[in-house]
Amino acid sequence: MSTEMTTRGYLTAALVPLGEQWKRMRRILTTKVVSQAKHQWFYAKRTEEADHLDGGPGLEEEEHVYAIFTILHYLYSFCASDFVPCLRWKFDLDGHEKAMKKVVEIIDKYHNPIIEERIRQWRIGFKKEIEDLLDVFIILKDGASNPPLSTNEINAQIREIMIATVDNSSNAVEWAIAEMINQPEILEKAIEELDRVVGKERLVQESDFSQLNYIKACAREAFRLHPIAPFNVPHVSISDTTVANYFIPKGSHVLLSRLGLGRNPKVWPDEPLKFKPERHLREDGSEVVLTENDFRFISFSTGRRGCLGVTLGTSMTVMLFARLLQGFTWTAPPNETKIDLSKAEDSLALAKPLIAVAKPRLAEHVYRNL
Annotated binding site for heme: 307
Phi, psi of 272 (to 5 degrees): -60, -20
Contact 48, 203 (CB under 8 A): no
CA dist list (Å): 91 to 74, 80, 95, 317, 368:
17, 10, 9, 40, 56
CA atoms within 13 A on the CB side of 82: 18
Contact 96, 104 (CB under 8 A): no
Which residues are part of a known binding site? 307
Query: Residues for the chain: how many in total?
Result: 370
CA dist list (Å): 142 to 21, 27, 28, 276:
14, 12, 10, 49
Q: What is the rounded CA–CA span in Å between residue 66 and residue 57?
A: 12
Max Cα–Cα distance, the chain, nearest Å: 67
Q: What is the rounded CA–CA span in Å between residue 235 and residue 230?
A: 15
CA atoms within 13 A on the CB side of 196: 11
- What string of DSSP letters covers 301-317? --STTS-TTHHHHHHHH
